[in-house]
């Protein structure tokens, strides 16, 4: 095998606006010979849905890129499922609706998969930071896993893309637990590598038509970048895309950690790029400013509060005592006596709330965190809050 053949391949297609994103995505997938990957396959499309914001804020995968992927999967003989556990804990369905992604799923007659409402499997992870994690069983029931990240800067990892998008596989508040455990940027990079090693994705398609610079999901600003990237190597996809916005791959803890594990190639010299070359950046992203959560003590405190801000609580006047909440709890934290009671072993996945047939399971927020939570979820109707 020649050195050139040993390289990973990343396709980068230029795309001036979302009205042309379908053509750009199809061309990028053709460049890396992946259009036939979906034939006869149940294909999970994992979007990036950090907040309940409209598409123009560039904080989530754009609905039109998702539409393009759904149609491509269908046109090439596959069955698309669109999946996520949103960054606003406990409100995944509402975030799908607010972002416009839910409407596209419905219009294109795909299946929407709320990862907070699935049967969970405890997966052993022989990682550097993680030993195990509760993950949705549907990941092992699909034939092809595709991640659809948004090109963004990140306050902790500098850049977030195809690798870090898989943190959204973790249900509910368990995403916060990862940040508590891996409380420095370098350790968070290792934790993200742990997740990607445990659940290898087959393909990544990067939404870089409009990216987000200068911060995370709150402080970042949209920037037109005009690109779509695709690769079967998520490490290489991240390396190329961050270089295209003026960030060196070796500055990004997730890329460094995953490349060191052999999950993919993180050095530009080891990547063959079809289309726009990383030596010709499309933008020079402003870096995130000072971030208190880079201090591990601050990170542990903030993410513990965020993880445990909400608690499942039953509205007895609406409860049918059917026991569904107890049946779906992955850690058997709910008992009926005769009303549902939640034990402290709860992992904050909120499957009980998501799957309660009567809508009787609500979310209670600690009084001193209500203002902060409502600020993060200000775009949402918080009808499930007590």
CATH (domain of 138): 3.40.50
Q: Are residues 97 and 156 in the same domain?
A: yes
Tokens 């059917």 -> residue: 322
Q: What does the pLDDT profile of the chain (386 residues) look like in tens digits?
A: 444 568 999 999 999 999 999 999 999 999 999 999 999 999 999 999 988 899 999 999 999 999 999 999 999 999 999 999 998 888 898 899 999 999 999 999 999 999 999 999 999 998 999 999 999 999 999 999 999 999 999 999 999 999 999 999 999 888 988 989 899 999 999 999 999 999 999 999 999 999 999 987 678 899 999 999 999 999 999 999 999 999 999 999 999 999 999 999 999 999 999 999 999 999 999 999 888 999 999 999 988 888 888 899 999 999 999 999 999 998 999 999 899 999 999 988 889 988 999 999 998 888 888 888 877 777 777 766 66
Q: Are residues 349 and 268 in the same domain?
A: no
Q: Residue 319: enclosing H or E segment and its boundaries?
A: none
Q: Are residues 314 and 166 in the same domain?
A: no
Residue 385 lies in a domain: no
| CA gap 355, 350 in Å, rounded | 9
Q: Are residues 123 and 161 in the same domain?
A: yes
Containing domain of residue 275, as a range? 3-292
Q: Are residues 150 and 48 in the same domain?
A: yes
Q: Are residues 257 and 325 in the same domain?
A: no
Q: Are residues 131 and 213 in the same domain?
A: yes
| CA gap 329, 120 in Å, rounded | 8
Q: pTM above the 0.75 mark?
A: yes
Residue 31 lies in a domain: yes
Residue 19 lies in a domain: yes
Going by C-alpha positions, the residue among 50, 131, 133, 84 that lies closest to residue 330 is 133
List % helix, strand, coil for the chain (3-state, nearest 5).
40, 25, 40
Enter the DSSP assignment of 138. G
Q: Are residues 110 and 162 in the same domain?
A: yes
Residue 324 contacts residue 340 (beta carbons within 8 Å)? no
Q: Are residues 95 and 142 in the same domain?
A: yes
Residue 113 contacts residue 119 (beta carbons within 8 Å)? no
Q: Are residues 315 and 198 in the same domain?
A: no
How many domains is the chain partitioned into structurally? 2
Q: In sequence order, what are the beta bridge partners of 272?
A: 9
| CATH number for the domain harbouring residue 323 | 3.30.70.20
Residue 79 lies in a domain: yes
């Amino acid at each position: 095998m020649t050195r050139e053949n040993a390289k990973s391949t990343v396709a980068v297609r230029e795309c001036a606006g979302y009205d042309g994103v379908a053509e750009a995505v199809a061309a990028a997938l053709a460049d890396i010979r992946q259009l036939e990957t979906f034939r006869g396959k149940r294909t999970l499309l994992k979007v990036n849905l950090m907040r309940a914001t409209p598409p123009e804020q560039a904080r989530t995968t754009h609905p039109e890129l998702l539409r393009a992927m759904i149609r491509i999967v269908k046109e090439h003989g596959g069955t698309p499922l669109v999946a996520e556990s949103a960054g606003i804990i406990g409100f995944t369905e509402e975030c799908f609706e607010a972002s416009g992604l839910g409407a596209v799923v419905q219009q294109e007659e795909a299946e929407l998969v709320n990862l907070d409402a699935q049967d969970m499997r405890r997966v052993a992870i022989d990682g550097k930071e993680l030993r195990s994690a509760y993950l949705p069983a549907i990941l092992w029931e699909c034939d092809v896993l595709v991640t659809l990240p948004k090109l963004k800067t990140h306050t902790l990892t500098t850049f977030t893309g195809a690798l870090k998008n898989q943190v959204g596989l973790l249900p509910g508040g368990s995403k916060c637990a990862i940040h508590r455990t891996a409380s420095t940027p370098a350790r968070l990079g290792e934790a993200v590598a742990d997740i990607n090693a445990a659940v290898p994705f087959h393909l990544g398609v990067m939404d870089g038509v409009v990216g987000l610079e200068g911060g995370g999901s709150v402080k970042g600003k949209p920037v037109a970048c005009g690109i779509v990237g695709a690769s079967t190597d998520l490490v290489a996809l991240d390396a190329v895309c961050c270089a295209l916005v003026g960030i060196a791959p070796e500055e990004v803890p997730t890329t460094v950690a995953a490349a060191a594990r052999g999950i993919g190639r993180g050095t530009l010299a080891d990547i063959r790029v079809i289309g726009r070359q990383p030596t010709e950046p499309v933008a020079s992203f402003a870096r995130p400013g000072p971030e208190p959560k880079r201090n591990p003590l601050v990170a542990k405190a903030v993410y513990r509060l965020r993880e445990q801000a909400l608690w499942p609580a039953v509205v007895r006047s609406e409860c049918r005592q059917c026991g569904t909440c107890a049946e779906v709890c992955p850690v058997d934290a709910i008992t009926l006596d005769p009303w549902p009671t939640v034990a402290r072993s709860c992992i904050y996945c909120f499957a009980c709330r998501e799957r309660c047939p009567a809508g009787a399971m609500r979310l209670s927020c600690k009084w001193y965190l209500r203002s902060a939570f409502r600020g993060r979820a200000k775009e949402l109707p918080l009808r499930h809050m007590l």
